[in-house]
Structure 1
Amino acid sequence: MMTRTQRRGRLAALAGALAVTITAAGCSSASPGLALADQQAVTAYMAAQFDGAFKKLDQELIKPRDEKSTVFWHGRFNERKTDKEIDVFRYQAADKAKPEPPAIFTKSRTSKDMKDNLDQYHPSGSEWDYLLLGERFRSLATTPWVRFPTFTPKDGFNVCLLTGVQTVCAMQDAMKATQKSSPAGLVKEYRQQADGTAELLTGVTLKSFVDARVLSFPEDFKKQMTPPMLESFLRTTVTMDPQGQLKKIEINGIVDKGGPKIEIQVGYEILGKATAKDFPPEPSPLDRTDLPDLNARKDFFNRLAAL
């Protein structure tokens, strides 16, 4: 029989293993030579590690950040597909005692052939946003840039309204909805690497993914999704650095259960720290077209969406 000291030592060794899998239904059968009580203790410990790290995601998204990141989408519905990528630069002087209102610069594109890049810039504390039009959109203005009332107010800033970051928040909503519903077969796995990097491996159901609008599906597409398809899991990976800060979230998978074939790959990855040098100067009046109010802004974006 193990002594209490031996039991604690064995538990610590197991908890430090590279990966332990926890399913929503409970612990798996004990490994050969491992007492059931130890297996249950390890399972409970690692489940707590997963849940604790998962809860930190909310704090990670809303705190001031100086970062370069990229958001990417790949979606395929039978023969229809979409690919898009957005580079996001966000600077708030986060290391200061009182961070500044965010400066935000995003670069959005689908492919070189489409020539549909849109670069949007919000200077810190400004009442204006600036949009640099790709070749596809040049008919909307006589200047390279368009200026309009900001989407990013100085007070009441909501990070989940930022281009690109909207997708990260939607991914998190899909994860929360799946965790809350706790469907049969849901996996929660916590992995810790030797350097302290942690990975959370789980899944989101296609239903949660669609409801959270991580990707927007037309209504006629959604009507073709069968119940078995909506119950299918998409593999979800969250990577956090040794300090517990978010590094990457990715959702991917193929759903093919008696209906249309759907391929999904969506991810958000932090590439480094943004500095003031990553942002352009404010465009001069000679290089911009001004949209003076919210109605003009709405009309412009309606025309842009129609192209």
Structure 2
Amino acid sequence: MRNRLLRVVALGASLVLIAGCSAGRVGKPIPDGDEVAQYVGGKFTATLERLDDDLGNTEPRKSRLRSFMRVGELKTDSTVTAIQLGNPADRLYKNHSNRDSADYRDYFLPAGSDVEYVLLGPDYAELAPTPWVSMPDKSEGLDICFWGGYLTVCKIFSAVTRSMQDNSVDKTAKSLADGSTELTTGVSLRVFLEERIVVIPDWLVDEIGEPLLDKMVDTRILLSPEGELKEIEMTGLLAEGGNEVEIKQHYEVLEAPTEHEIPSVPPDDEVTALTTDAEVDEFYDGMAEITSSRE
């Protein structure tokens, strides 16, 4: 049975990061070797804890992830905007294609609600007779990775954690003039795909071919002087044996949102209620068929 939220619990449990931290001078890289591993690990630990606090409290927060991946001539290009606002917090994340204005889904979890609402773009109209569907919210007791607004960030952290364990992967950390910290490392395409940072169908993974999977995607993470996550970039143009993969991921924390960015709860006559696991599974299976089509 496919259950989006429960699958995320296992991911969140895997985010065990190396503890420890050492200070660096402004603009000066931290030395290579064990010291950089401890420094980067400590920074990631602090960042993950900060994200946990952000989701657990009602601090206003808005972020944007531009996600692009090309395999040969086939492309996926989308922007996810995530918002939390209020006390208790309303949460909204919008997944919009940058290539097709009819391809979008907006997920809205009102404060205190026991259901999540999904607004379907025209490309998904066949999945329900109404513009919205609703389904039971199963987030209670789960960690920060349950929410689509943080899901990809958690996947990136998991991928970087795996790369940290590989001594052959270059890693750097340096303090910037404004007190920010910049962390850089490489993540193999194999790990990128295994962690499903971008979800592509199995047939397309097979077409990439083994020689490309060990090539590295450059990863840069920027933390504020207070240790808060500000930005993540993953970039790579990988080619081998006539196959080519291009990756551009850019996550950034934006200015705090306003109440005008939160939608109203849709009226009942505009909502198709999915109340059972079987109905929710059928809905996501149908969505997967649409999003994984070669066309």
TM-score of the alignment, normalized to the shorter chain, above 0.5: yes
CA contact (8 A) 1:225 1:259 kept: no
Gap change, CA 1:111 and 1:212, over 3 Å in 2: same
1:163 is aligned to 2:148: yes
Identity %: 28
Q: Distance in 1 between matches of 2:176 and 2:208?
A: 38
Q: Distance in 1 between matches of 2:189 and 2:99?
A: 30
Q: Give 1:18's aligned residue.
A: 27
Q: Give 2:190's aligned residue.
A: 207
Which amino acid in 2 is paired with 1:176? T
Q: Give 1:144's aligned residue.
A: 131
Give the alignment partner of residue 165 of structure 2, picking from 180, 199, 211: 180
Partner secondary structure for residue 113 of structure 1:
coil
Gap change, CA 1:305 and 1:231, over 3 Å in 2: closer
Q: Distance in 2 between matches of 1:221 and 1:306?
A: 14
Cα shift at 1:220: 3.8
TM-score by length of 2: 0.80
Gap change, CA 1:47 and 1:290, over 3 Å in 2: closer
Partner secondary structure for residue 215 of structure 1:
coil
Q: Distance in 2 between matches of 1:117 and 1:108?
A: 6
Cα shift at 1:48: 4.6
CA contact (8 A) 2:215 2:238 kept: yes
Q: Give 1:108's aligned residue.
A: 95
Cα shift at 1:261: 0.9
1:51 is aligned to 2:41: yes
Give the alignment partner of residue 231 of structure 1, picking from 214, 218, 221: 214
Larger Rg: 1
Q: Give 2:69's aligned residue.
A: 75
Gap change, CA 1:192 and 1:92, over 3 Å in 2: farther
Deviations 1:48-92 (A, max 9, x none): 543321222321232234311112211111111111111111236
Which amino acid in 2 is paired with 1:298? D
Which amino acid in 2 is paired with 1:72? R
Q: How many residues align?
A: 264
CA contact (8 A) 1:18 1:192 kept: yes
Give the alignment partner of residue 87 of structure 1, picking from 81, 87, 107: 81
Question: Which residues of 2 match residues 266-305 of structure 1 at below 5 A?
Answer: 266-305=249-288
CA contact (8 A) 2:108 2:116 kept: yes
Which amino acid in 2 is paired with 1:63? D
Q: Give 1:36's aligned residue.
A: none
Cα shift at 1:226: 5.4
Cα shift at 1:133: 1.6
Q: Give 2:105's aligned residue.
A: 118
TM-score by length of 1: 0.77
Unaligned runs of 5+ in 1: 1-13, 27-43, 94-99
Q: Distance in 2 between matches of 1:228 and 1:19?
A: 35
Deviations 1:223-271 (A, max 9, x none): 4555553332211111111111011112111111335111111232111
Partner secondary structure for residue 243 of structure 2:
coil
Which amino acid in 2 is paired with 1:109? H
Q: Distance in 2 between matches of 1:59 and 1:224?
A: 38
Which amino acid in 2 is paired with 1:104? R
Cα shift at 1:115: 0.6
Q: Give 1:37's aligned residue.
A: none
Partner secondary structure for residue 117 of structure 2:
strand
